[in-house]
A = this chain, B = another copy of it.
Amino acid sequence: MDHQGLEMDADALASFLATEFPQVASNFEIMRVMPMQVEVRMPVTERNLRPGGTVSGPSMFALADVAVYLAILAMIGPRSLAVTTNCSIDFMRKPAAEAAMTARAELLKLGRTLAVGDVRMFSDSLPEPVARASLTYSIPPLRVRNG
């Protein structure tokens, strides 16, 4: 695996998430981190299911959102203040019942102030993507701290 250009690896990202976003960190597993790409898994829990045992829309949104966020942090280092400004999401197929989901996120742009990521989400046991999303993040300028 090529770690060139990575500011944070999977362990560093997981620690950051656990510290900064304790409410959500346990919902996600960081599977792979590569330059401009991450793979994040969302295990099935009661909390994100809907009748029929399928994963809810808000849970899929959360998965896409965290995946792009982590892809950005992997490249620029820990900045908790990056915020989502836009998300467009297509729900294309019904997720498999009781199945975990995996998001593959790719950064298409990593600018000084805006980043754009593309995500495909898969349900375990289904070969075709269940949903796709694209997200824009606004990246706050780095402030130099004086000691």
Contacts and interface: CB of A to CB of B under 8 A. Distances in A.
Each complex incorporates copies of this chain amounting to: 4
Contacts of A85: 90-92, 114, 136
Nearest to A118: B132
A20 B62 CA distance: 22
B113 A132 contact: no
A108 B92 contact: yes
13 contacts: A23-B56, A56-B62, A84-B91, A85-B114, A85-B136, A86-B86, A86-B91, A86-B136, A87-B89, A88-B89, A108-B132, A109-B128, A113-B113
Q: Which 3 pairs across A and B sit closest by C-beta, in order of nearness?
A: A88-B88, A58-B62, A92-B109
